[in-house]
Structure 1
């Protein structure tokens, strides 16, 4: 499994609009992406922390294919969402262990 996270800084006054816009983009653009098993948007529980978006892919190759896709371009073309965030940091990770309860 290959997980990509994006830590997104959003000003408090933009939080509600960001959640609506980003969530709508996820729903509109991620359905049916090859190898994508789950995508989440996580709201911070403390002031000053970023939102976190996660995408879980079957493999790095699936992620790389998504980055070349129409879905990727559509997901990153919303000017409203981009104007609501002040910065972001993308991280990529390979899962080495999973424990299920």
Structure 2
């Protein structure tokens, strides 16, 4: 299995708007071969830094399935308007990819 995560620093006060963008998006992840699941995680506010951490986490059968998603028309369509919401973030998201070594 492969886990792909993007870490976002969302400006304080923009949390609801950020969540609304994700909840209102058209997603075709379930149509992709090798896709297992997706979660949007909201962390605790980091008031002294001025942001709330969020993570978008998707799980795939393997890294190749994830890479195929990133090269697909579905991926381009899903991210087409991402720049429209740039004011919600403190910097760009940070990608992290992990191969599952052990799981329950």
Q: Is the TM value for this pair above 0.5?
A: yes
For structure 2, the residue ranges without an aligned partner over 5 or more in a row are none
> Structure 1-normalised TM-score?
0.85
Kindly state the Cα deviation for residue 12 of structure 1 after the two structures are TM-superposed: 1.6
> Structure 2-normalised TM-score?
0.83
- 2:27 corresponds in structure 1 to 28
Aligned residues of 1:35 and 1:57 also touching (Cα < 8 A): yes
Please point out which of 55, 71, 91 is paired with 2:96.
Answer: 91
For structure 1, the residue ranges without an aligned partner over 5 or more in a row are none
SS at match of 1:31: helix
Aligned residues of 1:21 and 1:80 also touching (Cα < 8 A): no
Aligned residues of 2:15 and 2:52 also touching (Cα < 8 A): no
Measured at CA, do residues 29 and 22 of structure 1 come closer, stay the same or move farther in structure 2, by a change above 3 Å?
same
- 2:54 corresponds in structure 1 to 51
